[in-house]
Amino acid sequence: MRDHGRIAWVGAVGQYHSLSAPPPAPRNLFELVGRSIRLEGFLVRHHMDALEELYDLAVPHLRSGALPLDVTVVEGFEHIVDAFLGMLRGENLGKMLVTS
């Protein structure tokens, strides 16, 4: 990375199921400091001001089918816990949907 670069750290939800061991950290933290690189989390809730712009961009593509939605469907409300845990393990494609 260039000096004064920025890293957006995303995907933490994939680590939720491994509470017995801490998630791996960058091994080159001293290099980040030496190059004045900023590492920060990226949370959607911090960018709600861009929601209308996202809708303006994405909705026409969704409606035309150019931007398909990936969904994993689990049949049966009795499987909701398994579906939730599977989502945390990354066993779904797109959003996890449980139907009754």
Per the CB < 8 A criterion, the answer to whether 39 and 7 are in contact is: yes
Residues contacting 42, CB < 8 A, separation 6+: 8, 9, 10
Structure confidence by residue, pLDDT tens digits, 51-96? 999 999 999 999 999 998 889 999 999 999 999 999 988 899 989 9
Provide the pLDDT confidence category of residue 17 given band limits of 50, 70 and 90: low
> Which structure tokens are listed for 66?
């150019």
The rounded distance, in Å, linking the Cα atoms of 67 and 37 is 34
Query: CA-CA distances (angstroms) from residue 100 to 73, 74, 75?
Result: 11, 9, 6
CATH 3.40.50.720-classified regions of the chain: 1-67
CATH architecture under which domain 1-67 falls: 3-Layer(aba) Sandwich (3.40)
